[in-house]
Structure 1
């Protein structure tokens, strides 16, 4: 795949400019915060799985949900500013993945169907 095809496969908004200095800029701060939020949601998930008391579990779930929502808002902001991009999936790869997971679903004891 040539570089032009790769560019067409990238999903990204125009980049918001930021100063290129040794100090942390807005993009650096947002990236740092996003990494921290991802780490925190993973940690809260583990804590919820291991909570032995129902009240503790509910409190952790509330905090987890708030943290997850903030992580999502940060991601959306970074994507809107063009600081976060994604690669478009090829239709053939999507179809192959769907068929593979459809095969897995048939193995579930409850006869799960992929919708």
Structure 2
């Protein structure tokens, strides 16, 4: 029997892959010697960041991605788990 992935599972996998690619592009940008190559890699990196943001927004709106709330008091930042 073939098990079908749910939409949430698929979008979670895609977001994970976008994060991985973003990390790889970031490293490549940092190590690029040529300005032309660096600029091309930076554009690809920005594309991955934008894709990840869209996926995150969709997941968040559907309740599939819970982000801890951040509370700032003075110079401290505390992360509160979502309820």
Which of the five TM-score ranges fits, normalised by the shorter chain?
Answer: 0.7 to 0.9
More strand by share: 2
CA RMSD of aligned residues (A): 1.9
Of 23, 26, 38 in structure 2, the residue corresponding to residue 45 of structure 1 is 26
Q: Show structure 1 runs of 5+ residues with no match.
A: 1-21, 101-115
1:74 and 2:55 correspond? yes
Q: Show structure 2 runs of 5+ residues with no match.
A: 78-83
Aligned to 2:73, what secondary structure does the other structure show? helix
Matched residue pairs, number? Answer: 76
Provide the residue aligned with 1:29 in structure 2.
Answer: 10
TM-score (norm 1): 0.60
d(CA) in 1 for partners of 2:13, 2:20: 11
d(CA) in 2 for partners of 1:52, 1:60: 11
